[in-house]
């Protein structure tokens, strides 16, 4: 069991705070002049609605997005993380970054989780930084490349040419490769959370298949984070833009809980909390 939360008792909801100008879902707060205040307001609303964790990101990870420097990322996220520590005590703060320099600064001020979309493989110092601060880590599966992305104006970007011989086996193996990096650096077993990386370097069909077989990933024995909210595989399945993907996101999250997901990373916290509590109640009924 994690020292931060009991993921076995009920589904945990993580609210997304995108401090970026170019989020795929249209919720990038940096495009607003008063983005700092907007971020604090949204964070408070998420906590009021039931989010146990807030995930703060300063670089878009949408297909085809441009990378930003560590300095720019820190300029976006560090003031918000620092203020949330004092204004929302008891809330667990996660920072979505793959840069060790960013991770160290936010962990110094009190963040408790690093959400690494590259599974500790983008920055060789990341695992040791997380271990040094005794933090938790979300290890995500990602084979992403920038040369197989197709973008449609209304639906956004998606991957079209990613090849797997055995999707579930390969995702499982590559996640465990990252787990070994974490453990070699001294990150405790119960500080590791796995994310199968739905939406990252996978076609629409592969994302649907992976979601339907999450129970195989759950067998690896770590809490499982699911990030499907408003993603393009939902949009391409339903032919809907990001602003109209609530129902599809809720359906995908319900399937995720049934298949073993423990943490849901979402934009729509209130609706997802209600969904999760209902699914949890049914599952606990025996």
Active site residue 231: yes
Q: How far is the C-alpha of 23 from the C-alpha of 239, rounded, in Å?
A: 19
d(C-alpha 260, C-alpha 258), whole Å? 6
Out of 62, 76, 99, 265, which one is annotated catalytic?
265
Torsion angles phi and psi, residue 113, rounded to 5:
-135, 140
CB count, 10 Å around CB of 232?
A: 25
CA distance 114 to 136: 6
Q: How many CB atoms lie within 10 A of CB 68?
A: 18
Separation between Cα atoms, residue 3 and residue 92, nearest integer Å:
11
Q: Which residue is associated with the tokens 């009920």?
A: 10
Distance in angstroms (rounded) separating the CA atoms of residues 114 and 135: 7
Angstrom distances, CA of residue 29 to CA of 40, 156, 227: 11, 18, 19
Question: Which one from 231, 245, 274, 284 is the annotated catalytic residue?
Answer: 231
Would you call 230 a catalytic residue per the annotation?
no
Rounded CA gap, 185 and 193, in Å? 16
Residues that are catalytic: 231, 265
């Amino acid at each position: 069991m994690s020292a931060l939360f009991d993921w076995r008792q009920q589904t945990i909801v993580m609210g997304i705070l995108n401090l970026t100008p170019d989020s795929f879902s249209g919720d990038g707060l940096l495009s607003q002049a008063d983005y700092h205040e907007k971020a604090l307001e949204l964070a408070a609303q998420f906590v009021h609605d039931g989010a146990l964790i807030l995930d703060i990101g300063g670089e878009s990870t949408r297909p085809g997005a441009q990378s930003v420097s560590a300095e720019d990322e820190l300029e976006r996220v560090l003031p918000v993380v620092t203020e949330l520590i004092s204004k929302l005590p008891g809330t667990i703060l996660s920072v979505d970054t793959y840069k060790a320099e960013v991770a160290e600064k936010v962990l110094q001020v009190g963040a408790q989780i690093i959400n690494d979309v590259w599974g500790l493989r983008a920055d060789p110092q990341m695992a040791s930084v997380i271990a040094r601060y005794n933090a938790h880590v979300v290890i995500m599966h990602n084979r992403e490349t920038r040369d197989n992305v197709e973008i449609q104006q209304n639906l956004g970007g998606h991957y079209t040419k990613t090849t797997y011989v055995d999707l579930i086996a390969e995702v499982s193996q590559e996640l465990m490769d990252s787990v070994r990096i974490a453990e070699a650096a001294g990150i405790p077993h119960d500080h590791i959370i796995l994310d199968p990386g739905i939406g990252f370097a996978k076609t629409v069909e592969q994302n649907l298949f992976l979601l339907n077989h999450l129970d195989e990933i759950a067998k690896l024995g770590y809490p499982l984070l699911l990030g499907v909210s408003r993603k393009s595989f939902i949009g391409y399945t339903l032919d809907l833009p990001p602003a109209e993907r609530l129902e599809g996101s809720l359906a995908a999250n319900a399937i995720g809980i049934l298949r073993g997901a423990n943490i849901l990373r979402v934009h729509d916290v209130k609706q997802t909390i209600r969904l999760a509590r209902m699914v949890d109640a049914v599952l606990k009924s025996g």
